[in-house]
Structure 1
Amino acid sequence: MIYLLLSILFTTAVFLTLKEFQRYQLDNLQAIVVSYFMALGIGCLHSNSPFSVPFLLSQSWVWGALTISTLFIITFNLMAVTAQKGGLSVMTVANKMSVVIPIFIGIFLCQEDAGVLKILGIVLALLGVWFTSKKKGTYQFDKRLWYLPFLIFIGSGLADAIINHMQAYYVAHNALDLFSTSLFFFCGCIGVVVLMIKKSIGNLKLSFKNLIGGLILGIPNYFSIYFLLKALSHPDYETSLIFSVNNLLVVLISVLLGLFLYQEKLSKQNYIGLGMSGLAIIVLYFAI
């Protein structure tokens, strides 16, 4: 349970750091690419296994790590476009509701237990995420661009599902640190290619503050993934519960911090979502 809680705390720290990016007008892509290399450096220091490109490419799970990293980069850019064209609410709901994909795979394909309390808790968690994420006045979206949130939903869900699959069948428990480090290595490499393309077409202005922001983001970025993998490897907790609780508490804590730190206003729907989230936590606790 401690690994799940740490993953939730570090993921929330990622969201809060990104919130500060907006305040200081940082370039998200530049800072996030820097954060990948910062996380890579932390992973190399933290890992018990030697990190080298030939050694990494020799691992049986390298294809999974490359696939996940590609999905991370694609989904991030889709999220940026969707937030600009349809608002943060559309992007947030699409991203958070994608948790149904690894949950579905865990219950129906991996034959995890699906008791009444567990199903009820997951449904309440999903509804809680939906209502809590919706913001009044921002849910205006051109229906002709329906494919953007749909692709975010698919991309985020597949990334989580592949992470779980790799952890369960390919990555040894003592190699979780190397696997998480490899994700940031591939993300960083792909990100550099994207930045080079933007530079070549004259659509990129480098800034020192983006470097600082990326270095700060890299710390929670690494540990959010590392502790999620550690939580997924715990034999007493199933995939569906891990992803449900993780996703639910990240949204819940982020909303509460936004309320107290940034004086964000909540609608009636948001309060309904918070109530459902609290009830879901209680139900899932008894379902474990």
Structure 2
Amino acid sequence: MIYLLLSILFTTTVFLTLKEFQRYQLDNFQAIVVSYFMALVIGCLHSISSFSVSFVLSQSWVWGALAISTLFIITFNLMAITAQKGGLSVMTVANKMSVVIPISIGVILYQEEVDFLKISGIVLALLGVWFTSKKKSVYQFDKRLWYLPFFIFIGSGLADAIINHMQAYYVPHDALDLFSTSLFFFCGCIGVMVLLIKIISGNLKLSFKNLAGGLLLGIPNYFSIYYLLKALSHPDYETSLIFSANNLLVVLISVLLGLFLYQEKLSKQNYIGLGMSVLAILVLYFAI
């Protein structure tokens, strides 16, 4: 349980850091690419085994790490475009509702037990995420851009599903730190290539403040993935419960922090979502 709580804590910190990026007008992509390398450094220092590119490339899980890293980069860009053209609410709902994919795969592929209490908790969690994240701007979204949230949904869900599959079948428990470090290495490499293309084409100028923001983001960025992997590898907790609780509590805590720290206003639907979220937490707790 401690690993799940730590993953939720660091993921929420990532969201709050990104919120501050908006306040200081940082370039999200530049800062996130820098954060990948900061996370890589932390991973190298944190890993029991020394990080080696040649060793990582020789591992059976390298294809999974590459796939996850590619999905991370693509999904992030789609999230940025969606936030600009359709609003943060559309992006948040698409991203968080993607939990349906790893949960479904966990039940079908890993033959996890399904009972009424667990199904009720998962359904309440999904409804809680939906109503808590929903804002009026959802109704103003240009329907011609439906493919943006759709691909965010698919990309985020597949990334979580592959992460779970890798730790379940390919990554030994004592290599989880090395695996998570490799994710940030590949993300950083892909990100640098994109940055170079933008710089050469004259569409990007590097800034020191983006570097500083990326260094700060890299710390929670690394540990959010590392502790999620640790939670998924715990034999007493099933995939469906881990992903449901993780996404639900991240949204719940983020909304409450937004309410108290940034004076964000909540609608009646948001309060309904918060109530469903609390109920879902109780149900999932007794379902474990």
- TM-score normalized by the length of structure 2: 0.99
How far the C-alpha of 1:136 sits from its partner, in A, is 2.7
Give the secondary structure class of the aligned counterpart of 1:70.
helix
| Equivalent runs, 1:259-270 vs 2, <5 Å | 259-270=259-270
One-letter code aligned to 2:208: F
Look up the match of 1:27.
27
What is the distance in 1 between the residues matched to 2:250 and 2:139? 21
How far the C-alpha of 1:52 sits from its partner, in A, is 1.1
Look up the match of 1:9.
9
| Equivalent runs, 1:212-227 vs 2, <5 Å | 212-227=212-227
One-letter code aligned to 2:177: D
How far the C-alpha of 1:50 sits from its partner, in A, is 1.6
Structure 1 contact 11–250 (Cα < 8 Å) conserved = yes
Look up the match of 1:151.
151
One-letter code aligned to 1:216: L
What is the distance in 2 between the residues matched to 1:287 and 1:254? 24
Runs of 4+ in 1 over 6 A off after TM superposition: none
Structure 2 contact 65–179 (Cα < 8 Å) conserved = yes
CA deviation digits over 1:159-196, x for unaligned, max 9? 00000000000000000000000000000000000001
What is the distance in 2 between the residues matched to 1:47 and 1:248? 29
Identity, in percent, stands at: 88
Look up the match of 2:172.
172
One-letter code aligned to 2:38: M
CA deviation digits over 1:84-111, x for unaligned, max 9? 1111111110000000000000112211
One-letter code aligned to 1:128: G
How far the C-alpha of 1:201 sits from its partner, in A, is 1.1
| Equivalent runs, 1:89-100 vs 2, <5 Å | 89-100=89-100
What is the distance in 1 between the residues matched to 2:87 and 2:6? 30
What is the distance in 1 between the residues matched to 2:177 and 2:137? 42
Look up the match of 1:199.
199
| Equivalent runs, 1:32-111 vs 2, <5 Å | 32-111=32-111
- TM-score normalized by the length of structure 1: 0.99
What is the distance in 1 between the residues matched to 2:139 and 2:114? 33
Q: Any stretches of 5+ residues in structure 1 without a counterpart?
A: none
Q: CA RMSD in A?
A: 0.7
| Equivalent runs, 1:206-245 vs 2, <5 Å | 206-245=206-245
What is the distance in 1 between the residues matched to 2:173 and 2:285? 26
Give the secondary structure class of the aligned counterpart of 1:31.
helix
One-letter code aligned to 2:144: R
Structure 1 contact 86–139 (Cα < 8 Å) conserved = no
CA deviation digits over 1:43-92, x for unaligned, max 9? 00000112111111011100000000000000000001111111111111
How far the C-alpha of 1:133 sits from its partner, in A, is 0.4
Q: How many residues align?
A: 288
What is the distance in 2 between the residues matched to 1:138 and 1:149? 11
Look up the match of 1:250.
250
What is the distance in 2 between the residues matched to 1:155 and 1:121? 24
- Residues 1:277 and 2:282 are matched in the alignment: no
Structure 2 contact 89–137 (Cα < 8 Å) conserved = no
What is the distance in 1 between the residues matched to 2:100 and 2:230? 21
Q: Any stretches of 5+ residues in structure 2 without a counterpart?
A: none
